[in-house]
Structure 1
């Protein structure tokens, strides 16, 4: 590779990308992906052996999905905001079709129909629709700001209503809350009246109350969270209790790689409770590193666009950063029993199959929107 390959005078697509992309965020994402592979080696072999799938079955599948995720992230980060909007339209429409197909022929697991088997891979369509929905809402609200006659808020409500209706039919309350939170955050950034925000907040409280009274699995999880004695500790709260024991056993420095016990007893140690594996084997140090990485990526992305003149870029970036951070928070808080348990993967760290590819798309959009032109502060 010649010294001028990434010279500032290099006007090629790759050269321009290298000098305009946020290399700090890119580096943090690559470190996070590497830690995900490390924890896959630590957490998944005992789970695979219990299922008679071969010791490194989940490790291999994790690495196989990491490769296209990185390629998607880099490839999408080369796009312009206009191309990002076009991509979002395509992914949103495809995601809606996949959500409908999931309801019709998806696999039912624990009373929920959220996964679709495609070529031997479990696909969760809602993971792909999240970033596309966020970009489209940002587009609609930005057009409303540019042209007050444009029905941007109404169109965002229609986009939201279609997605939420399909998610509640699965049902998937956790994903519904993340998408709702993102939408409300974007409306707040767009400057809607505080009265509207109050009404939306009230509607959210009513919706949560309705979920508690009419969705049995939501009722059970909230009751168990508020009163741990209300459930059977050998079944209902087994994974949570083992997770808390893992953090206690790990202490500050951890028990050491391969020395953890939780992964031998918890079915979801490689997925929803991988944070507990990190705490037990690598201690508080690695847990804090993970928290700092998630916080750094979210805050760094927001700081890159906070003063930008494009409302679309600001709202789209903020929405994706909020989604990313909120998903990580839900996973960590569930493992620590700070909130009712919710089956949600930790971005890039948990084994999640197609969710890695969806995260690659989401972070590619984030990197594309936070790029800067060489020699100026103008966003591409």
Structure 2
């Protein structure tokens, strides 16, 4: 049986194959492959430290991976209309779960971000981000095309979601939500005065977090003044890059993962630096940059404001999250617990990112004009 499709093939898979951005899809799959390699090398040491079976974390991640692949593929088959419908309904569910997290969530390291049930732990914030980006795009696009207070509703949604995230507290996720909101407002044609005003308000909120949240104060002070706080993790992280050199010590040969508590998650880029080297790290960075820039290139001639805003929001989320993780690991910004998309350990993050990128592939497929014009 042939796995190739002729251009005249009008089946669902045939149309999908010839309209989806195969280069972006290939880059996403390559990131997943790199993530599998790094999880296999980084997580056994972590598992042993917390009393698990040596490959317990690896097995957990490999259970989530097939689901993520299915979610990525199925989401990429959707039309813009179905992407919008799914996101609006799912965002309401995500907001409910974010609120529920504050009541029955599991506290880990002083933050309440997880809901545990049936032996599984889910982080609602991971799913809220892509649904927020698409729903906000629909609200703003509708406000531009109809008699609808799009900016007011969008601002209310942002304030609600950002407040729930800040209460967990989760400053990193709040920053991503805020970044999506500001970029989409700018693209929707909001006067620069209002964009700057909202930006100043967001900066003021983060300054407030610095003065009222001790863990934020500690991390910012440690970044600005190395002598002011605990530099153990970031010191080990930078040591890993120095040990790795140009070509790395080889998969599984690194030692930093034995000391970094979050070597399989927040600091997995440091494991890549030590075991795979500078060249591999540059390839990883290039893959993230390629996906984001390729996505924007596909939108250059997009006529649907909804598609433009939604896809941009998803790209901002993806790129900003990668930037925060790698920047924290390299001590280019204060440390912040944030997964590296498709590479760090975490089932919620993996599936949510697959859903978001699947929706991006769906929105950037080449279609007849009538299929992508509706908001």
Rounded Cα–Cα distance in structure 2 between residues aligned with 1:333 and 1:285: 17
**Residues 285-324 of structure 1 mapped to structure 2, 5 A cutoff:** 285-324=279-318
Structure 2 counterparts to residues 122-133 of structure 1, below 5 A: 122-133=121-132
1:101-250 alignment, distance < 5 Å: 101-147=100-146, 149-231=147-229, 236-250=230-244
The corresponding residue for 2:10 is: 11
Question: What is residue 50 of structure 2 aligned with on the other side?
Answer: 51
1:354-365 maps to which residues of 2 (within 5 A)?
354-365=348-359
Q: Shift of the alpha carbon at 1:200?
A: 1.2
SS across alignment from 1:116: strand
Answer yes or no: is the 8 Å Cα contact 1:370–1:379 preserved in 2. Answer: no
Instruction: Describe how 1:11-30 pairs up with structure 2 within 5 A.
Output: 11-30=10-29
C-alpha contact 2:80 2:372 (8 A) present in aligned 1: no
Post-superposition offset of 1:352: 1.2
Residue 9 of structure 1: CA displacement? 1.4
Q: Give 1:10 shift.
A: 1.3
Structure 2 unaligned regions, length at least 5: none
- Aligned residue runs from structure 1 range 263-302, under 5 A: 263-302=257-296
- Corresponding residue for 2:38? 39
3-state DSSP class of the match of 1:6?
coil
Match of 2:335 among 341, 349, 370: 341
Structure 1 gap ranges (5+): none
Answer whether contact 1:134 1:182 (CA < 8 A) is retained: yes
- Residues 212-269 of structure 1 show CA distances to partners (whole Å, capped at 9, x for unaligned) of 11111111111111111112xxxx3211110000000001111111110111111100
In 2, Cα distance between the equivalents of 1:168 and 1:87? 25
1:270 is displaced (CA, Å) by 0.4
Deviates more, 1:245-254 or 1:111-120: 111-120
CA distance in 1, matches of 2:207, 2:234: 24
Pair 1:254 & 2:248 matched: yes
TM-score, normalised via structure 1 length: 0.95
Shift of 1:52: 2.0
Q: Secondary structure at the match of 1:117?
A: strand
**2-structure distance, mates of 1:146, 1:278:** 47
**Secondary structure in 2 matching 1:53:** coil
Matched residues in 1 for 2:127 and 2:28: separation? Answer: 18
Contact 2:75 2:355 in 1 (8 A): yes
Offset from partner CA, 1:37-94 (integer Å, 9 cap, x none): 0111111111111122111111111111111111001001101000001100121011
Matches of 1:245 and 1:161 in 2, distance apart?
A: 40
Given that 1:371 and 1:379 are in contact with CA atoms closer than 8 Å, whether structure 2 keeps it comes out as no
Count of aligned positions: 373
CA–CA separation in structure 2 for the residues paired with 1:373 and 1:310: 12
Post-superposition offset of 1:186: 0.3
Q: Give the conservation status (yes or no) of the 8 Å contact 2:80–2:371.
A: no
Superposition deviation, residue 378 in structure 1: 8.0
Task: Tell me the TM-score normalised to structure 2 length.
Answer: 0.97
- Local SS of the residue matching 1:159: helix
Query: Could you say what the CA RMSD is over the residues aligned between the two structures, in angstroms?
Result: 1.5
Report the 3-state secondary structure (helix = DSSP H, G, I; strand = E; otherwise coil) of the residue aligned with 2:7: coil
